[in-house]
Amino acid sequence: MRIFIAGGTGVLGRRIVPNLLDKGHHVTVLSRTPKRASAAESLGAAVAIGDALDPDAVLQAVTTAKPDLIMHQLTDLSSRSTQANALLRIKGTANLVAAARAAAVSRFVLQSIAWCYAPGEAPAGEGVPLDLVSDDPARRLTVDAVIAMEECARHVAQAVILRNGMLYGPDTWYAPDGAMAYAARGGQLPADEDVTSFVHIDDAAEASAAAIEWPAGEVNIVDDEPAPATEWLPVFSDAVGAPSPAVAATPRHPWARGAANGRARSLGWTPRFPTWRTGMRSGLGPA
């Protein structure tokens, strides 16, 4: 298969590209600069230079690559700016979808997130609607961008929408040298009742590579054990050398419910780390 990947130089993309190449696919990586794409190029991927926020550059890159499938792994997390990430989700997706339609590309794989579901008690399956009622401005910005991004992607006939859980492992915020480890060591992460669904970065990459052959629709890419911070944070803190966290006497946010992975498993995805309990002890990378 000829695959065009935007975001192929990011944390997930750097793991997806060699996976696809090893399976014999022809991969073209979109990158803003040749320097950022050098690692992918050294593995044998083709490189298209262009900014995902520039519709003309994206169209030219896709038209030249002639892909069978476009994979969207774009994020803007380095600045930790919710606004910048929302912009990339909305405009970057629109540019890729427009290019797909212009180039008659019928398959699309999109990276989304699994913590935008509407409030509820149980972990959310893909049939649960996204959260249209939140009155928190920061959450509203993220959810609105995700809704717009997913709706746009569905304009491609065969769109697979991967709703990833909270990524942990090497190069993520949840690594020994990541932002959350520093926060934990500084006593800035209280253990509350909010439920999170995690997924190891390598398991998320495996799912993305497998998704090129999955049927259209939404798929939660999360491990088997959604858990409140009162359970997972002590394990994470111990793994990164942080003190035991303080317990916060606050109720769970109704939307902080976690997600269920039944559909992903039915499609053949088997995570190497089925639970954060083992993943955070052995899969975070060097301390």
pLDDT of residue 78: 65
Of residues 80, 127, 118, the one with CA closest to residue 256:
118
Q: Is 151 helix (H, G, I), strand (E, B) or coil?
A: helix
pLDDT of residue 36: 84
pLDDT of residue 80: 66
CATH 3.40.50.720, applies to 2-167+199-223+259-271: yes
Alpha-carbon distances of 89 from 20, 123, 213, rounded to whole Å? 23, 25, 23
- CA-based torsion, 269, 214, 24, 111: positive or negative: negative
% of the chain beyond a pLDDT of 70? 98
Q: What residues does 27 pair with on adjacent strands?
A: 3
pLDDT of 270 strictly over 70: yes
**Exposure string for 192-220, b = 16+ CB within 10 A, e = fewer:** bbbbbbbbbbbbbbbbbbbbbebeeebbb
Q: Is 157 helix (H, G, I), strand (E, B) or coil?
A: coil
Q: Residue 39: count other Cβ atoms within 10 Å of its Cβ.
A: 15
pLDDT of residue 286: 77
Q: What residues does 191 pair with on adjacent strands?
A: 247
Phi, psi of 253 (to 5 degrees): -65, 130
H runs (alpha helix) in the chain: 13-22, 34-43, 55-65, 82-87, 93-102, 137-153, 179-185, 201-210, 229-239, 262-266, 276-282
What does the pLDDT look like over 152-206, one tens digit per residue?
A: 999 999 999 999 999 999 999 999 999 999 999 999 999 999 999 999 999 999 9
* Total-model pTM: 0.96
153 near 97, Cβ under 8 Å?
A: yes
Taking the C-alpha atoms of residue 285 and residue 168, their distance in angstroms, rounded to an integer, is 10
What does the pLDDT look like over 68-107, one tens digit per residue?
A: 999 999 988 666 678 888 999 999 999 999 999 999 999 9
pLDDT of residue 72: 98
Residue 52, Cβ density class (10 Å: 0-12 exposed, 13-18 middle, ≥19 buried): buried
pLDDT of 151 strictly over 90: yes
Taking the C-alpha atoms of residue 9 and residue 244, their distance in angstroms, rounded to an integer, is 35
Residue 11, Cβ density class (10 Å: 0-12 exposed, 13-18 middle, ≥19 buried): buried
Quickly state the pLDDT bin for 287 (edges 50, 70, 90).
low
What does the pLDDT look like over 215-265, one tens digit per residue?
A: 999 999 999 999 999 999 999 999 999 999 999 989 999 999 999 999 999
pLDDT of residue 3: 98
